[in-house]
Structure 1
C-alpha cells in the first residue's frame, strides 16, 4: 500500500471514529472537567459544617458513634464513615442504598457527641455528574451498558489520536515550529484545520493518558491485564498479607456487626497504623461478610497514597494489609490510576491542565464536523467539474481559498 493510500485510510478511520463518538466524548470530557476540582469546591461549600470545636473529652469510638447516629436515622443503614486525624473536624457518615436502590444523602456529625451538623451541599450534583461521566446515567450503573459504552469511546479516542498523529507527522524537522503554531490568520477550512490539528497536537499526550487510564474503569479484562503487567508478585500486598481463618457465621447466615465489634476493629487498625493518619475511611461489611475495610491517607499525601487494611470484625484480626510505602513502582502506578487519570499526580497544576484539555473537546467536535462537511463539498464539486472545463477555474479558486 502506498503512502498516500495509507494516509487516506487513516483519514477515513479518524473521520468515522470522530463522527460516531464526538458527542459521547464531548459529554464525558465536560463532565470530567466539572469534577476536576470537586474536592476543593465541596470543601469550600461545606466549610461551616466540617469543623467542630475541639474539646477536652476524647472523641467517640466508631462503634458508639455509629450506634448513636443509627438511632437518629432509623432504618437507613450506615455503609461507611470518614474520620480525620485532627480534633476539629467533623465525621462524615455515608448510608447504604435503600430498597429502591436510592442512596440517602450523607451527613456530617460531631465526633464528640454524635450530633448531626448537616447534609453536605453539592453532593447530589456531583453524584449525578459522576454517574453521567462513568455510566451515562444508564440504569444499572457499573453493571449496566453505560460502562462499556464509555470504554468504547476511550478506545475510539485512542484510534483518533494515533491516526491524527500519523496524518500530522512533519516531513522535515524544521517544520516542527509551524507544526505547533496555530494559524489564526487563516480563514475558512484552513483555520478550522489549523485549530483542529494544532490544538489536538498540544493535548494529544493528555488525552492519551486520560483514555488509557479511563479503560481501567470500563473493562475488567483491561484492569486484569494492567495488574498482570505492572504488579510485582513479591510486593507487600501479596507477601505480607496476614491471613486468618474466619469463625463460623452467626445464626441465620448473616453477620450482624455490633458497636463493640467496630471498636475492636478500630483498635486493631490504630495498633497497626503507628504513623498516624490524616483521613481514615471505614467501610462496613454487607450481607454475611465479616470484613471491615479501612483505608487511611497520610498527611500531605494524594488520593492514591493510601494504606488499606481488611479486618475480621468477629475476631478483630487483620486479614490483610497493603502499605503504600512498601509497594513497588508498578503497584504504586496501579494504586494511583485515578490520580493519573485526572492529572492530580502532578498536583493542582496538573489537575488544571487536564481540566483545560478536557474543556477543549467541544472545539475538536465542531472543527472536525466542519472539516468533514468541507471534504464532502469538495468531493461534490470535483464530480461536477470533472468533465466541465469551464468549472475548472472556479474549482481551483475554491481550493486556493481553503489552503493553509
Structure 2
C-alpha cells in the first residue's frame, strides 16, 4: 500500500514539475498582467477626474444623434460605435469609435453633453487596453480569433493540474493541523525554505487560483462556456445563448438604413425612467437596426450587475429586455463571471486579495524552478560515486 502511494506521489511530482517548467513564465505573465488590471477602474477615474465631470446647466443635454453630428461636423470623430450616457447632469458623455479599415481603433473621447465640446481622451485607456490584450491573447494577432485565446486556456488547464497535484503532494500526516497547512517555516534555509514557501503560500492562494482558472476558461474555450451556460441557466435561456449566428447568404445584402441613437434612447428612457445611473448604447456591428443598451441601476456596485435592452433604432420598438433582477442564481453567476474572476464580487477587499495572489505567481515560478534544479543536483551527487567505480570493485 505504501509502495503504491509512493509511486503515485512520484508520478504526480513528475507531472507537477513538467507542467511548472513548461508554463512557469507564461503563467507569471498572465498573472502579473491580471494583477495590474485589478484596480483599473479606480486608476482611470483618478487619472481623468478633470474630464469626466462638467458643470450642470439648466438647459437639457443634447440628444445623442445631435451630439454625434456636432462631433462629425467638427471633424473630431470617426465612425462612432457607442456612447455612454448618464442620468447625472454633471457627468460627461463617453464616445467610443469603431475600427477603421486597418483594424485600428482610436481612443475614446469624453464630451460635454450640453454643447458637444470635446473634453479630452481618457489617460490610461491605451495602456490598459494593451495590458488586457496581453493578459487575454498574449498580443498574438487576431485577438479573440487568434491562437492566443487557446494558449491562455491551455495554461489555465495546466495550472489546475498543478494545483491539484501540488495539494496531494503536500498533504501532511497531520492533516487537521492548521499550523501544518498555513504556517511557513522561516527558520529553514536553502532548499527547505524554498519548499516551505512554495507549499504553504501555495496553500494560501490555492482557492483564489482555482476561482481564477475556472472563470478564466470561460473566455478561452467555447465548449467550456456552453457547458457552464447549459449547467447554470434555464433551458430556454441556454438554448438562446448557444444558438449559432446564421451567416448571411452570399450575394444578398440588406438595404442600408441610417441608424441613429435617438429613437432607441427615447424608448429606453420611457422604459426605465430615472432608475438607471448610466447607459451604454451600442450600434449594431452589421447591417441590422437593433441597438443594444446596457444599463446600470443607481444602486449597482458591480460592472456586471446590469440590465440589457435591445431596441429597433428605426421604429423605436423594444425587441427584448433582460433584467438582472429576473435572473436565477445560476444565471447571475454567469452574468458575474468577470467580477468573480477578478474578485470584485467581494468588493475592494476581494480585488485586493486577488491582486496580491496574482502578483505572487512569480514566487512559485522561481521557487519551483529552484527546487527542480536542487533535486537534479542531489540526484547527480548521489549517482556520482557509483559512476566512478570500476568493474570488480
Q: TM-score scaled to structure 2, two decimals?
A: 0.92
Task: Write the mapping of 1:89-128 to structure 2, written as runs, cut at 5 A.
Answer: 89-128=91-130
Answer yes or no: is the 8 Å Cα contact 2:27–2:155 preserved in 1.
Answer: yes
Separation of aligned partners in 2, 1:150 and 1:218: 7
Structure-1 residue corresponding to 2:272: 273
2:193 aligned with 1:194: no
Aligned CA RMSD, in angstroms, stands at 1.9
Separation of aligned partners in 2, 1:256 and 1:66: 17
Q: Report the CA distance between 1:171 and its aligned residue.
A: 1.8
Q: Report the CA distance between 1:279 and its aligned residue.
A: 1.6
Answer yes or no: is the 8 Å Cα contact 1:294–1:310 preserved in 2.
Answer: yes
Q: 5+ residue gaps in structure 1?
A: 239-250, 390-404
Separation of aligned partners in 1, 2:170 and 2:43: 39
Separation of aligned partners in 1, 2:369 and 2:255: 57
Q: Report the CA distance between 1:372 and its aligned residue.
A: 0.4
Q: Report the CA distance between 1:257 and its aligned residue.
A: 2.9
Q: Report the CA distance between 1:317 and its aligned residue.
A: 1.2
Structure-1 residue corresponding to 2:11: 9
Answer yes or no: is the 8 Å Cα contact 2:85–2:279 preserved in 1.
Answer: yes
Structure-2 residue corresponding to 1:34: 36
2:20 aligned with 1:21: no
Instruction: Report which stretch shifted further, 331-340 or 285-294.
Output: 285-294
Structure-1 residue corresponding to 2:254: 253
Answer yes or no: is the 8 Å Cα contact 2:259–2:314 preserved in 1.
Answer: no
> What do residues 344-367 of structure 1 show as CA deviations (whole Å, max 9, x unaligned)?
000011000000000000100000
Structure-1 residue corresponding to 2:328: 328
Q: Aligned pairs, how many?
A: 375
Separation of aligned partners in 2, 1:264 and 1:63: 10
Q: Report the CA distance between 1:304 and its aligned residue.
A: 1.3
Separation of aligned partners in 2, 1:254 and 1:96: 21
- 1:73 is paired with a residue whose SS is coil
Answer yes or no: is the 8 Å Cα contact 2:263–2:314 preserved in 1.
Answer: no
Structure-1 residue corresponding to 2:52: 50
Answer yes or no: is the 8 Å Cα contact 1:70–1:78 preserved in 2.
Answer: no
Separation of aligned partners in 2, 1:274 and 1:13: 58
Q: Report the CA distance between 1:329 and its aligned residue.
A: 0.2
Q: TM-score scaled to structure 1, two decimals?
A: 0.89
- 1:2 is paired with a residue whose SS is helix
2:278 aligned with 1:290: no
Structure-1 residue corresponding to 2:382: 382
- 1:278 is paired with a residue whose SS is strand
Alignment equivalent of 1:73, drawn from 69, 72, 75: 75
- 2:235 is paired with a residue whose SS is coil
Separation of aligned partners in 1, 2:323 and 2:86: 19
Separation of aligned partners in 2, 1:366 and 1:6: 25
Structure-1 residue corresponding to 2:205: 203
> What do residues 21-60 of structure 1 show as CA deviations (whole Å, max 9, x unaligned)?
0110000000000000000000000000011010001111
Structure-1 residue corresponding to 2:223: 221
Structure-2 residue corresponding to 1:137: 139
